[in-house]
Each structure stands twice: as C-alpha cells, then as structure tokens.
Amino acid sequence: MDQEIREFYAQGYEDERLRVGGNGRLEFLRTQEVVRRFVGERGRVLDVGGATGVHAGWLARDGHDVVVVDAMPSHVEVADALPGVSAVVGDARDLPVDGPFDVVLLFGPLAV
Ligand SMILES: C[S@@+](CC[C@H](N)C(=O)[O-])C[C@H]1O[C@@H](n2cnc3c(N)ncnc32)[C@H](O)[C@@H]1O
C-alpha cells in the first residue's frame, strides 16, 4: 500500500468512520441492510479490507464465521480481538487465506 495511504489510516479514523456522524451511520445501516439480504444464515464470510471489523463484528454476532483481511496491522489487531472474528494482515490482490467462503465483502480496499 502507498505510504501516504498507510499514514492516513495510521491516524486511526477508520474505527469510527461508520460509527459517528450522519453520513457514516447511514452508510453503515444501509450496508448492513443490503448485506443481510444476501448473506444467508450462518455462513463463512470473508471481509477483504474489513478494517477494524466494523462489519465483521455484527456479522459474527449474527452467527457467521468471519475472517478479515486488511493491509493495516493496527486495523487487524482491533478486528482480531472481536468475538467470532479472526483477522490477518494481507493484501487484497494476493489473499493470504483459503476458501471456501459463502460471501466475500470488498468495501474500499483497492488502494495500492
Ligand atoms: C475505506 S476503508 C473501508 C473499511 C470497511 N471495509 C468499510 O466498509 O468501512 C478501506 C480499508 O481497506 C484497507 N486496504 C486498503 N488497501 C488494501 C489492500 N490492497 N489490501 C487489503 N486491505 C486494504 C485499508 O487498510 C482500510 O482498512
């Protein structure tokens, strides 16, 4: 990942981006609504670029087995501490995990 982007994420805003403020909350709730429509019951979900687990957390609470891959170690550390979530550092273009997965989320990790 580009150093400038890495420095941006290192500021730590990503953990609150979808939790605070109207736009963030709207994006979170709308994403949750749409994902729940497709994810089914108790599947294995891969969240690529899942950051600190903003979606992985509720997916795990819904009963899914959730794996997060993210390029930022600081994000992965937070996500990995969530119950029912396992998180690993990795690049979306060369995934460090093996399937199969029932659903793959790819929301925003295509920076290089
Ligand atoms: C805009 S945030 C989106 C986070 C979350 N998916 C969401 O919907 O709010 C993008 C995330 O993708 C990660 N990311 C960026 N480029 C990546 C790459 N090449 N491989 C894996 N993760 C990447 C960043 O560290 C960051 O956590």
pLDDT tens sequence across 38-92: 998 899 999 999 999 999 999 999 999 999 999 999 999 999 999 999 999 999 9
Residue 73 belongs to domain spanning: 3-111
Ligand 1 centre to CA of 37 (Å) is 22
pLDDT at residue 112, rounded to an integer: 54
Grade residue 36 by pLDDT with cuts at 50, 70 and 90: very high
Q: How far is the CA of 5 from the centre of ligand 1 (A)?
A: 10
User: Looking at residues 21-49, what average pLDDT do you find?
Assistant: 94
Residues with CB under 6 A from ligand 1: 1, 9, 14, 18, 49-51, 54, 69-72, 75, 91-93, 107-109, 111
What DSSP element (H or E) covers 65?
Answer: strand 65-70
Q: What CATH number does residue 22 fall under?
A: 3.40.50.150
Q: Which atom of ligand 1 is nearest to the CA of 111?
A: 16
Query: What pTM, to 2 d.p., does this model score?
Result: 0.94
Distance 40 CA to ligand 1 centre (A): 24
Cα(93)–Cα(112) distance, integer angstroms: 9
Count structural domains, the chain. 1
Element (H, E) at 36: helix 22-39
